[in-house]
Structure 1
Amino acid sequence: MHRSAPATPEKAHAPAPRIRLARVLACAAVPVMLVAVGCSSDSGGDKKKDASSSASSSGGKQASSSPSLAPAKFKKLPEACQSVTPASIDKYVPKAKTKAGEVGKTSDPQSQASCTWNGLDDKGVQGSLYRWLDIDLKRYDSTAGLGSGDSLAQKQFDRAVSAAQGTADAKNVKSTPVPGLGDQATAITFDLKKTDADFKYGVVVVRSANAVIAVDYNGTGYQGADAPQTNEVQEGATVTAKEAVAALAAANNK
């Protein structure tokens, strides 16, 4: 999920590769028709069975080859750039180039949406602070042949956590659960050196029912300014992830 650092402070826009998952086409289950077979008998005095008895179709019953799936909880996603409050952008991405955020491209905004913010806060002789915030939302429907929306989201959650933990050249990688956030959440922090700058990363991945939210918050210092502390980037990622979970719930309560 990390972004490549800018070569110079003037070109500090350094997007980290975002985890993406292609949508899988639904497969329809074919029901199996079961027909009950009955026998007719001769009612004559000799109790002789009729050799030409026919099968009765009146008792036929239909059965499905696959169990029914529970419907997905969330039917839509919030607008990604509105899932984080302006106050949080002011705090965690000071001097953001675009305070409204930059919307990521998507062919289906109700299944996948994303937004990024970045800014370089020039403090003169004290150096410059660069910050980057990226939020990615994915939603899964219950699909016959593939599984429930929750189970599909669970798989994406596991992939996103593993991808953050396995970031190339990352150092001091630490993972901790985040209690009380969604159905499950994991925070991952690490250090990464890029273009001679030391970046600190805070990543929080959350699964809430059939949706997965991944937040990547990172930054560094230029011209003598220090990089943020690990607890700072973890806090920024956690706070904005909580806001995105709340925005998801609100979007589906309208």
Structure 2
Amino acid sequence: MSEGTMQRRAQRADLEVPATPSRQGGTDRRARRTGRLNRALVCAAAVPTMLIAAGCSSDSGSGDDAKKASESASSATASPSPTVQAAAYSKLPEACQVLSKKTLGELVPKGSKSGKEGKSDDLSTRASCSWDSLDNNGVDGSQFRWLNVSMLRFESDAARGSGDELAREYYAKQVKDAQSAAGAKNAKTESLGGTGDQATAVRYDLKKKEGAFKQQTVVARVENVVVTVDYNGAGLAGDKTPDAGDLMKVAKKAAGEAVGSVSEANGGSDSGGSSDASKSPSKSAGSSESSAGKA
């Protein structure tokens, strides 16, 4: 073998010698870095997709929350307003026609045709009529009588209450006012049954310059209407003072007829009796009924 040939083999052997440890370690590190870089690139490519999905999920949740909040607000706004029971009676009878001619003849002799209607802005809500008479025109002593029938009807109102409740309050006020009349002496209060839903009679003596008067007041409630009968009498110019018991008897009769007229005017057939036979008589005016509101 020639020297030249041996030299070429030696050079090829040198080229085939394995890498040294230091060189081999560097190669391994480069491979690992390349692998990590590839994995990072794959992850980076996946991140936008994940973010987009998360973003869509977040938006969907926000939309649901907003929808729920809107529905809740709408529900609160749409909550029903308070309601009250409708009033039983929608009108009043003609005040000067609530009593029969016979009853008027007993109450106001010689004055049964002299009814004077009271002023009112709305006769379906407030009405009254009054009568007065002297049975002998004041000659040689006389008997004086004065009668007034008033009616007040209450409508149901969501803010104030039902017509029935408002009428109860006004009824109590009327009774209290009768009991506390200025100058009243020997006052007596009596509960009445069979006259509307509630009824109370108050009577007292009243001294005036014209003479000694006997005052009778009957307050009755039928559903959402309050009827008040004021009746008084006196013996003038030396005539005798009338009997309070006799006056009260006809005053109660007048109250019963007036209550019956209210029912009849609204299509009923009640003739002064209670609208519910099972109801007990009303309590006396001294009971703890609520004080009245404005009419």
Same fold (TM over 0.5): yes
Q: What TM-score do the two structures reach when normalised by structure 1?
A: 0.76
Residue of structure 1 equivalent to 2:136: 122
Q: Equivalents in 1 of 2:63, 2:138: separation in Å?
A: 99
Q: Alignment partner of 1:193: what SS?
A: strand
Residue of structure 2 equivalent to 1:53: 63
* Rg (Cα) greater in structure: 2
Q: Equivalents in 1 of 2:244, 2:149: separation in Å?
A: 19
Q: Equivalents in 1 of 2:85, 2:139: separation in Å?
A: 59
Residue of structure 1 equivalent to 2:214: 200
Residue of structure 1 equivalent to 2:252: 238
Pairing 1:58-207 to 2, within 5 Å after superposition: 60-61=74-75, 62-65=78-81, 67-96=82-111, 99-122=113-136, 127-207=141-221
Deviating beyond 4 angstroms after TM superposition, the runs of 4 or more aligned structure 1 residues are 57-60, 123-126
Letter in 1 for 2:225: A
Q: CA deviation at 1:223?
A: 2.5
Residue of structure 2 equivalent to 1:35: none
Structure 1, gaps ≥5 residues long: 1-43
Q: Equivalents in 1 of 2:173, 2:119: separation in Å?
A: 21
Q: Equivalents in 2 of 1:120, 1:91: separation in Å?
A: 13
Letter in 1 for 2:106: K
Q: What TM-score do the two structures reach when normalised by structure 2?
A: 0.66
Letter in 1 for 2:239: A
Pairing 1:19-58 to 2, within 5 Å after superposition: 50-54=60-64, 55-56=66-67
Q: Equivalents in 1 of 2:139, 2:123: separation in Å?
A: 43
- CA root-mean-square deviation: 2.3
Residues matched between the structures, number: 208
Q: Equivalents in 1 of 2:197, 2:140: separation in Å?
A: 42
Q: Equivalents in 1 of 2:101, 2:183: separation in Å?
A: 33
Q: Equivalents in 1 of 2:114, 2:136: separation in Å?
A: 20
Q: Equivalents in 1 of 2:138, 2:83: separation in Å?
A: 63
Task: Give the structure with the larger strand fraction.
Answer: 1
Structure 2, gaps ≥5 residues long: 1-52, 269-295
Letter in 2 for 1:53: G
Q: CA deviation at 1:53?
A: 2.2
